Amino acid sequence: MQIVNPNWERTLRMKIWTETMENTFISIDYPRKEKGSGTLRKSSEMWNFLPKVGKVIKVPPSMMGSSWMGSDFTNDDLVKETTLSDDYTSKFIDGADKDKLYIELVAKKDAVTVYGKILLVVDKKNNMPITEEYFDERGNKVRTLYFSEIKKLGGRELPTKLVLIPEVKEKRQTTIRYSDAQFDTKLPSDTFTLINLQRKR
């Protein structure tokens, strides 16, 4: 993950494990000063481990909108990624390019969510995502996520490059590149536990 803003630039290398759409475990391998840092998500709860202080910190609801590891992705992005079907109503809409599918997701009235609307653009040829545009409750576009460089990893084709660009912050972007992937592998039973989060790697 490469993070770029007007004042500094940094690159992180990490490993990610997921189970269904509920559990996620992330371990930072690089740079050296961040090595051992980790994040655990179980359903709607989230914890971070900071090796410098040797503590696990639970992320409170008030911090869900904060940046994850200094990137343009938020803690909320890691937790809320599974609730689109619960928090939004979706429908196909007409778009300028007939080779693409346009899917509009509008937040339900009782949903607790940051974005009022999300527009997904998908390539009809391969059903791969092209962009995700996020809008606030007033209809202003606040960020765009771009998908590209489709490759076969772990026997499946998927976009291996994701670029998130915020609209309100100039000269900022976060790029994620997948270098390898495995699917349907058997994971140790303690993968998604607080004990594993604190384990030295």
Strand residues in 60-155 grouped as ranges (E): 88-93, 100-107, 117-123, 129-135, 141-153
104: which residues sit within 8 A by CB, 6+ positions away? 90, 91, 92, 93, 117, 118, 119, 120
- d(CA 99, CA 101) in angstroms, rounded, equals 7
DSSP H helical ranges for the chain = 75-80, 84-87, 194-198
Looking up tokens 């475990």 gives 25
What was the pLDDT predicted at 151? 97
Tally Cβ neighbours within 10 Å of residue 99.
8
- d(CA 192, CA 26) in angstroms, rounded, equals 10
Instruction: Return the domain boundaries, the chain.
Output: 2-198
What was the pLDDT predicted at 136? 93
The one-digit pLDDT tens for each residue of the chain (201 residues) are: 999 999 999 999 999 999 988 899 999 999 999 999 999 999 889 999 999 888 999 999 888 889 999 999 998 888 765 578 888 999 999 999 999 999 999 999 888 788 999 999 999 999 999 999 999 999 999 999 999 999 999 999 999 999 999 998 889 999 999 999 999 999 999 999 999 999 866
Global pTM value: 0.91
User: Is 2-198 in CATH node 2.50.20.10?
Assistant: yes
